[in-house]
Amino acid sequence: MIGVQDIVTMFQCRNINVDIDPLLLSDFDCEDKDTNPRNVSFSLFRLIYHIGVIQSRRFSPSKRFKFLDKTDLLEKIHSNTSDFKVHISKIRTLRGPEDLASISQDFGVGISAVITESFFKIKPSTITRILRSGKRPDWKCQTDDDRTLIVESKGSSSALTSRKQEINGAVQKIQESGDVHIASYTIINEDSISINRFLDPPIESNNNSRNKENNIMRAGHYASTFSFLGSSRLSIYYSQMRKRLEGTISVAEQELKNDTFHDLSVKGPVVEFHDQRYTGVFYHVDKERYFFAGVNVSLLSYSGFLNFQEYENEINEETERNNFMLLKDGILLIDIDNINYFESVIRKEDILNYQERITISDIDEMTELSFSKYFMYVLNQNGFSKIQQEFKERGFVFDLKGTFGDKDYFFEFKLFKGKINIKDLLHQLHFYSEKNKGSKMVLVTNANLDEVKANDENLIIFGRRELELLAKNSKSLNKILGN
């Protein structure tokens, strides 16, 4: 299982070639305001972290530690080069064009953020997704000199698609007021270094006072970050903080915020690091591997939030086989190999596996690779043996195979984000069911298939209703399957 320190030390940095709009160069905070194009180096940890923070669906705060889902993206990146290259052919063959488009967009968002960090002195705690519906830019942040940057991010696997995206991107980037408007277009490549076009000059200024806008953006940043890191309580808390800053919080919401403040700051769990206290949540990751994600307690109070100054530098240090990573925005991440170090903070038995902290909304956001890993955990929880990924049977590649008792189960996963069409797939599964009478074929999907009948005793349809039951109790699989 991948932890933060693994990403930092094992995967290190990658380079991307950036072609910059000359009209943007004068606005950069870096010393080099002339070189164009240029290579930008970025850490893969920052890439994954930004993707998760910006792409998280704030309207549905999650208890799931989704950072580990997003690290699946690392498997798509070439590991034997310092250039940013992606296994495009493999993704297209195994996962199809829809997954390739989704992965390209994720990379486009993350790369826009790491490039912006390279060219501007930004405040990390102000990075936040823009939430309005309709055509809008993706995210915004503030610089150290209080300028607001508005960024529209696009990602694709072809130059032709990228040029088509430029039409919408040019419109979307001006739908939010700010000091600098940027449209970022990333083209991921397989056999050569990936490239980015960083376009457009400054536009209109913002009507909000810079200080107020700073605080509203920071509250949005923490709300998104903790939805990504799996603390729904902290995510909701900072959504309420944002409403208070905007002056739109209701009496009931303010009372809930006050109660949550007391629970988080007093009841904990609270970890001490460098003479500061951090409240958050622990997760069981794998075997004896654990993780903690939390925030400086001073950021919970209204006055503490307003007065918080970002740390000058990030801190990354190891203590008792546990790696502590303190980010500039006051968020503490701990990759834990020695859970006994925290025995005065929390009981090991009280820490849930991150796969248990899941909802149907989390599943809707997953890739099929992340979902396959989740289902492997479920199979283990339910006593399945001989579990194999991507098992080939009579020319058909099933996502998982597992054995329960003396019966083999072949699982095929389909997570739908758009139009649903499973007629051909059911026909194909029925064909393999006829050829494997002693086995069970199981179609697992997040679609609502209550009206779809298998008409085959060896073919099981596992739809949205069953997934909701499984999310509530990971050990209910055999009951749902009828074992």
Distance CA 92, CA 427 (A): 23
pLDDT band for position 205 (cuts 50, 70, 90): very low
- Residue 70 tokens read as 């997003």
At 395 the pLDDT is 63
Element spanning 113, H or E: helix 97-119
pLDDT band for position 131 (cuts 50, 70, 90): confident
Count of CB atoms within 10 A of residue 191's CB?
8
Q: What is the pLDDT of residues 263-307, one digit of tens each?
A: 887 777 999 999 999 999 999 998 889 999 999 999 998 888 999
Query: What pTM did the predictor assign?
Result: 0.77
**Residues ≥6 apart with Cβ < 8 Å to 80:** none
Cis peptide before 269 (omega within 30 of 0): yes
Residue 377's Cβ-count burial label (10 Å; 0-12, 13-18, 19+) is: middle
Residue whose C-alpha is closest to residue 333's, from 395, 252, 261, 271 = 271
pLDDT band for position 9 (cuts 50, 70, 90): very low
* pLDDT for residue 6 is more than 60: no
At 366 the pLDDT is 86
SS3 4: helix
Distance CA 331, CA 299 (A): 10
Count of CB atoms within 10 A of residue 21's CB?
14
List the domains of the chain with CATH numbers: 4-210 (no CATH), 227-232+244-348 (no CATH), 360-481 (3.40.91.50)
Instruction: Count how many residues are written for the chain.
Output: 483
Task: Please give the mean pLDDT across all residues of the chain.
Answer: 85
Distance CA 155, CA 73 (A): 14
Distance CA 302, CA 299 (A): 8
At 199 the pLDDT is 86
Tracing tokens 């493999």 back to the chain, one arrives at 90
Q: Taking the CA atoms of the chain, what radius of gyration do you get in angstroms?
A: 23
Degrees, nearest 5: CA angle 259-265-266? 85
Distance CA 186, CA 201 (A): 18
Distance CA 481, CA 459 (A): 11
pLDDT band for position 132 (cuts 50, 70, 90): low
At 202 the pLDDT is 42
At 203 the pLDDT is 47
At 201 the pLDDT is 46
Distance CA 135, CA 155 (A): 16
Distance CA 100, CA 445 (A): 19
Element spanning 467, H or E: helix 464-472
Beta partners for residue 184, in sequence order:
153, 198
> What integer is the mean pLDDT of 12-29?
90
Residue 330 contacts residue 318 (beta carbons within 8 Å): no
* pLDDT for residue 108 is more than 80: yes
The lowest-confidence range among 28-37, 197-206, 407-416 is 197-206
Distance CA 235, CA 226 (A): 5
Q: Which residues of 436-453 are buried (b: 16+ CB within 10 A; e: fewer)?
A: eeebbbbbbbbbebeebe
